[in-house]
Amino acid sequence: MKKLSVFLASLLLAGITLVQAQTVRITGTVTSSEDGMPMPGVSVFVKGTTVGVITDAKGKYELSVPTSAQSLTFSFVGFKTQEVAIAGRSVIDVVMETESVQMEEVVVTALGITRERKALGYNVQEVNSETIQKSGTGDVVKALSAKTSGVQIINSSGSAGAASYITIRGASSITGNNQPLFIVDGQPISSGGSGDTGNSVDGVQRSSRAIDINPDDIESITVLKGGAATALYGVQAANGVILINTKKGKKGQTFKVDINSSVQLSEVSQLPELQNTFAQGSNGVWSSGASTSWGPRLDQSAYSKDPSVWTWPDYDVYGAIVPKSSPLADPTLGPVVPYDRYEFFQTGVTYDNNASISGSNEYSQFYFSVGNRNETSVVPNEEFKRTSIRANFTSNLLKNLKLSANSNYVNSEGTFIQKGSNVSGVMLGLLRTPPSFFNNMGYELPGGIQRNYRHGGGYDNPYWTINKNPYTENINRFIGNSSLEFKALDWLTFKYQIGVDWYVRRYKQIFAINSRAVPNGSVSEGSSFSSIINSDLLALINHNFTENINLTGTFGFNMYGDYGKSVSAATNAPLDIPGFYHVSNTSNQSAGVGEAEFRSSAFFGDVSLAFYNMLYLGATGRYEKATSMPNAKAKFYPSANVGFIFSELPGLKDNNILSFGKLRASYALTANVAPIYALSTQWFSGGVGDGWTTGGSFPMLGATGFSYGDTGGSPNLTHESMKSLEVGTELRFLNNRVGLDFSYFNNVNEDLILNVPIAPSTGLYGQFMNAAKMTTNGVELSLNATPVKTSSFQWDINANFTKMKTMVDRLAPGIEDVFLAGFTDPQIRAVAGQVYRSFYGYDWYRDANGNVLINTDPNKGPVGYPMTNQEQGMIPLGQVDPDYTVNVYNTFSYKGISLSVLIDIKKGGMMWNGTKSALNFFGVSKATENREVVYNPDGSINFDQTPAENIVVFDGVLGYVDDNGNVVTDGSTNNIPVVLDQKWFQGNGSNFGGAPNSSELEKTDWFRIREITLSYRFNEKLLKSTPIKSLEVYFTGNNLLLITPYTGIDPETNLTGASNGQGMDYFNMPGKKLYTFGLRLGF
């Protein structure tokens, strides 16, 4: 029940000054109108004085009042304040009624402190446990997708356990961390990727450590967005905070058992369209082992096993391909049918089982849970498993002394598969396979030779990759904290909390001999240890000066330490024994050790004054030292906020239309922590290279060697600072049936750290400096409404709108741009005067009006086609991030039936579809299917006999480029018909042939049904004669509908994973549709 779940909050919010008066003694009991249960923590005051008490655990109170007292006031968060006349009575019992405008009662803010939502001068949003569990993703980050405003989440791929990239109110750093701080029950945790590879375009998509948190254990998630909301956390929290509160036993709760069990089926969602018409080969002729699919039509071909043509029987298992008219054709071998490359994918199955017990007695509460998730991917042999054990405990050791402890052990493990720009990548080898070659007819030949469509060369057969090149990972983790809380006075509480987050990660990567990425085979493995220790000493104040003036305050001292160490070993020479995957199985090995440590300490305070439940003034300050600052120099980070509830004004109060109205504003100065060890130049293990050979590294020839780093440290480096301004309003109408929340925010990020080029004569190429500046502006709008509410039916709407833009205001002198991700071209960059994460690449030649130039000069290139402009270099082509997003969550409830639908809309933003462009070159994309051309005897195109669908006229203006590189055109619209044949697609029609990057960028707008949940909760009357107290069955679907102009895989993807360099698709792992069937039982 509401009063029980917020008992801890009531103790913090109800500090009362006791004034002794000996004349009249009044007692009574306060109960709830909801269920008649006693209400602890209710404030009971003599009206107009500071004389008051709070009700005890049984809802009882006892109060001595002056004889002149006329009435008592009873107040509790979320309930109507009542004024009751004394009228000579000595016993006054009160029934509290819920308030029509509850403002979601209390929310958890920084340091786990519960506050009335209406008292906050900044925006926070909360997501409850039911919403999280409905997501069906098994990942706390993915579960937040499209649930709040200002939060952008990109799932890197559909791989099992793959990490997601999350930002709150845009980016705050150019090359540093832009993801929020995660805090679980007051303990900061590591949430980054395990063994992050930064902007790697190959390798595997590993998981982030946020996935270790079991969503079934979560009570609520609070998203702290602006600087004022996060300022108390200091330099760790400039990017926002995700506060996770796990389930606890509730005071007054009897012994309870909950079981949640589900099975989930997954299938690939959107995939690139492939052609299934033409065979392997070139110029219309079949060729076994050819790299491309520009061969003959399959429906005009036949198989032959004549030895004169069937020269590669191990690869061309059904026979060589010859024309149907050939005397070598053998009709008995059956027709030449296309190979369905997508049959490689399977239906993934995930079992998720969770059980918990909870309860309480007069002095203690407990919660214990066990959860297991076993996920098999749509990619065969890829899997992710997680086992979680949690124990939360609270006990009142004395009347005013409380002990709390939370602990969580997690084991996560996975097998991940190669992806991306990688000749051993699954999607690269799969999609480039010709429709006439059957990967599924075996991937290994006698002697360990690989069977693929390139006769063992080129790219790995995807079946070879999933069976011979696994990456395995195992993590053992413990997260826990304990706190001791002493209530010294009614208005003063002291609390000490200490917690840890420890995990050990072990990994192993295998490449079998004859793998294309490492033909000689290799083994690498390692282990890493991560530790975060955090402690807080707090003094909590909640004092009522009068009935209408209240002071709340938090003052404390924090110590934080983050330590990590890793060891690794790898083979540096060919494997000697096939199939023996041990680092010793080679003549040369290498080893490495990494170690890093960061510590900080801080004094902090948070003060808030409330006047007449109308005006709220707040301020925070944090004075922090950090080891990444010169001499651990301390700096002060302040914030201030104000909230004004104008609906309390005379004339507006108790208005039937405007139920609640509030204006708010806040300002904060926070910081993003500087990188550790950037204050001085570091030494590294030495190596040699000449650009032609593989070079070498030390130790070498029995000698060790070290070299000075090429990036110099800066002894005067400071943290990256952020000035955050937020203004907003909250409005509720029609007795809380409709609610609006609007925020405008402006973040100015300065002193951003860059590697700035310096004179090579110094012996360095660059130096870390505070040099750059970025600004983010945005608006957020949230709508909550209940359009229909009857005794048996209710329709609720929760909607969010977000529009923001991050601009790079300046970089350092000598730096024109900063590379974030990509290839030689295109690139994702940060460029002064441009939007952060801008695409840069090559474009077509264009006229002064931006029209594409269509060539008319046969000496400059093919007539009737556009031409790539290499002369002007790379130019800005677009942005990655969307213009705006809209999320609409509809819930329809009828008796025990509930239907929830989450619609996710994204407008704007682009993606580099490098996959499609590459497939054009290889002749396997759907775009290459209309390729047939009939030529005249003189070599010109016979447009009368060439199929009409194979003839195109490019949009643009006619003209040419003169010898000086100038565009010459009279503006005439192009009317020259041309064909898109092999020559075109292996030229300017693909990224392998010289196509400009502008032709490869595609819009990533989308309309998707991100979640849909249908559930049925059985009537308790039907369960009355059974031990079952609650029973619910449900179905959840994820991404069941996607409408997008993007022609690749699901555009919610990124080649480089959870990194700053978003917007790249180059043979990424595809996204998934999920179908979850489950039940929840309560005993």
Write out pLDDT tens, residues 193-234: 644 434 578 888 888 899 999 999 999 999 999 888 888 898
Whether residue 997 contacts residue 844, with contact meaning beta carbons closer than 8 Å, is answered with: no
Strand partners, 592: 568
992-995 long-range Cβ contacts below 8 angstroms, 24+ apart: 992/917, 992/918, 992/921, 993/921, 994/868, 995/868, 995/917, 995/920
Task: Give residue-wise pLDDT tens across range 605-626.
Answer: 999 999 998 999 999 999 999 9
Whether residue 439 contacts residue 344, with contact meaning beta carbons closer than 8 Å, is answered with: yes
Distances (CA, A) of 645 to 105, 649, 793: 15, 8, 32
Rounded CA-CA distance 947/926 in Å is: 16
Burial code of 708-719, b = ≥16 C-beta within 10 A, e = fewer?
A: ebebbbbeebbb
- Across residues 795-817, what is the average pLDDT? 94
Three-state secondary-structure class, residue 1059: coil
Torsion angles phi and psi, residue 688, rounded to 5: -130, 150
Rounded CA-CA distance 38/94 in Å is: 10
pLDDT for position 10: 39
Task: Give residue-wise pLDDT tens across range 499-543.
Answer: 999 999 999 999 999 999 999 999 999 999 999 999 999 999 999
- Across residues 791-797, what is the average pLDDT? 94
Strand partners, 762: none
- Across residues 419-438, what is the average pLDDT? 95
The alpha carbon of 924 is separated from its chain's Cα centroid by a whole number of angstroms, namely 33
pLDDT for position 1069: 94
Residue 88 pLDDT > 90: no
DSSP symbol at 180:
P
Contacts of 1009 (CB under 8 A, 6+ apart): 901, 902, 903, 904, 1037, 1039, 1040, 1041
Three-state secondary-structure class, residue 911: strand
> Per the structure block, which two tokens stand in for 812?
């350092």
Phi-psi label, residue 873: left if phi above 0, alpha if psi -120 to 50, beta otherwise: left
Strands (E), 612-698: 615-626, 634-644, 658-672, 683-685, 687-688, 696-697
Residue 678 pLDDT > 60: yes
Burial code of 375-396, b = ≥16 C-beta within 10 A, e = fewer?
A: bbbbbbebbbbbebbbebbbeb
Contacts of 693 (CB under 8 A, 6+ apart): none
Whether residue 1056 contacts residue 196, with contact meaning beta carbons closer than 8 Å, is answered with: no
Share of the chain above pLDDT 90, in %: 72
- Across residues 446-473, what is the average pLDDT? 96
Residue 293 pLDDT > 60: yes
Predicted confidence band at 631 (pLDDT cuts at 50, 70, 90)? confident
pLDDT for position 52: 82
Whether residue 604 contacts residue 622, with contact meaning beta carbons closer than 8 Å, is answered with: yes
HSE at residue 931, side-chain half, CA atoms within 13 A, is 30
Predicted confidence band at 1021 (pLDDT cuts at 50, 70, 90)? confident
Say which residue the tokens 């446990």 belong to.
Answer: 129
pLDDT for position 35: 67
Whether the link from the prior residue into 826 is cis, omega within 30° of 0, is yes
Three-state secondary-structure class, residue 131: helix
DSSP 60-123: EEEEEE-TT--EEEEE-TTB--EEEE-TT-SB--EEE-B-S--TTSEEE-GGG-EEEGGG-SS-
- How wide is the angle at C-alpha 141 spanned by C-alphas 794 and 781, nearest 5°? 50
Q: What is the mean pLDDT of the chain?
A: 91
Work out whether strand 957-961 and strand 853-855 pair parallel, antiparallel, or are unpaired.
Answer: parallel
Torsion angles phi and psi, residue 140, rounded to 5: -65, -35
Burial code of 806-830, b = ≥16 C-beta within 10 A, e = fewer?
A: bebeebbeebebbebbbbebbbbbb
Torsion angles phi and psi, residue 322, rounded to 5: -130, 165
Rounded CA-CA distance 477/207 in Å is: 14
Q: Write down all domains in the chain, each with its CATH number in brackets.
A: 2-99 (2.60.40.1120), 108-255 (2.170.130.10)
Q: Which of 115-119, 545-549, 766-770, 829-833 has the lowest mean pLDDT?
A: 115-119
pLDDT for position 1057: 87
Whether residue 865 contacts residue 984, with contact meaning beta carbons closer than 8 Å, is answered with: yes
pLDDT for position 485: 94
Strand partners, 897: 894, 1016
Distances (CA, A) of 611 to 73, 115, 554: 17, 15, 18
DSSP 567-629: EEEEE-S--SSTT---TTSSS-EEEEEEEEEEEEEEEEEEEEEEETTTEEEEEEEEEEEETTS
The alpha carbon of 402 is separated from its chain's Cα centroid by a whole number of angstroms, namely 36
DSSP symbol at 909:
-
Task: Give residue-wise pLDDT tens across range 1046-1076.
Answer: 999 999 999 998 899 999 999 999 999 999 9
Strand partners, 853: 957
DSSP symbol at 674:
P
> Per the structure block, which two tokens stand in for 702?
């029995």
Alpha helices per DSSP H over 122-280: 129-134, 140-143, 227-230
pLDDT for position 207: 86
| Burial of residue 358, with CB atoms counted within 10 A of its CB: 0-12 exposed, 13-18 middle, 19 or more buried | buried
- Segment (H or E) for 468: helix 462-468
